[in-house]
Structure 1
């Protein structure tokens, strides 16, 4: 599945015309700039750490400073807002009993859904968001060996704090993420609204460690 589709608009500036090709780390598209005409756009296939992203954007800065007939000219660089693109089969109801079951990737499913066979729930969604947040902040899953940690005693212990793996993560943000991953339902935010209120200081602008109460370094 390609990252961009024909006709898609990128901001107010570019419109994707067609796919050109790909390499190991990126795809290239022909796009039309509303003022400059046709251009080539390189889209990275995966999101890296903050340091890796800065290094990759540094390539665009260097390219914009070089002029040669055999080198592409760099006009612009930027980042897209991440969007949820795969909802799949989130819930299925039994026609006779009306009970629901959940399907999904084990690493993102709440322990109660796996241990007790409970269906989808708002608290289970909170756990999934906590897993995504942990992965974005550390580039690691909170529990690598899911079957062992879900069904065994090890899952009663919280994962390593995101701050211990990434010093840019503030103390308070680490606390919120770990609370979302709490194995016991009473210790976890009840639903996405409650979790959203706790994450509000990091919703707009700023780095992970600079939000109010984040604790810094």
Structure 2
């Protein structure tokens, strides 16, 4: 049962419109702001002491520093009284198109290749802003469920959402502890070596492979395959082996993002975005 209901007021300016869904730590609502119109709101489930609220709203503070058209925008943060007690929340832009996961499901067996390259370029460009902070911010949970799809007129515009697991890398090791979704985790993360910019790139490569082929990379389709490290001993089947519209250059870009050895992988989102733009421009 949700903590808030349609018609509930949050402060002086927000009214809950409808419940959108929930994850392990938070619920999502569509809300109406008295002046800004329709927004989305993330409401945390945990009891919000002052210290807990400060920690939970770290995502909002982090996102407020990442001004980029391909990263979700934050508008406000605070606490609200619910039937279960005081809870922290923040409001962000509402993206009516839904998630990339839903978008991909509507294009099975594969999203058109030009659309995929557009999505990937935008995704890598937004992620690059986080990667270029000092120390870098690592998302640690990039999946098709955490990328939102919207439109600017006829043009597709994606936003990276759900930075709930994002974390600044250690300024000396440039690593962060492992978090996230197994199917999108890099091999070195699954082996316990921590997250890096290259691990976020792996997640983008996984998204690319999934959109182009409807298959996870290095995956034979078994129910526990994402948990098996042995799968990385097999050679990667390039996207073109499933989808004849994928050219050799795009195969190479996706393959570089999915190198099992992180030292051989595309090292950051900026390099990935540059490679995609070079392909689009013919060099």
Which of 228, 237, 247 aligns to 1:160? It is 237
Matched, 1:147 2:227: yes
Moved over 6 A (4+): 15-18, 50-54
- RMSD over aligned CA atoms reads 3.7
Q: Aligned residue for 2:259?
A: 182
> 1:109 deviation in Å?
1.0
Matched, 1:81 2:157: yes
> 1:49 deviation in Å?
2.7
TM-score w.r.t. structure 2 length? Answer: 0.43
In structure 2, relative to structure 1, the CA distance for the partners of 1:53 and 1:162 (3 Å cut) is closer
> 1:92 deviation in Å?
8.2
Matched, 1:107 2:183: yes
Secondary structure, aligned partner of 1:82: strand
Deviations 1:152-177 (A, max 9, x none): 2x313332110111111111101110
State the aligned residue count. 147
Contact 2:111 2:212 in 1 (8 A): no
Higher relative contact order, structure no. (Cα contacts within 8 Å, ≥ 6 residues apart):
2
Structure with bigger strand share is 2
> 1:186 deviation in Å?
2.4
Contact 2:189 2:195 in 1 (8 A): yes
Contact 1:49 1:139 in 2 (8 A): no
In structure 2, relative to structure 1, the CA distance for the partners of 1:81 and 1:147 (3 Å cut) is same
Secondary structure, aligned partner of 2:263: helix
Unmatched 5+ residue regions in structure 1? 9-14, 19-41, 55-76, 204-210
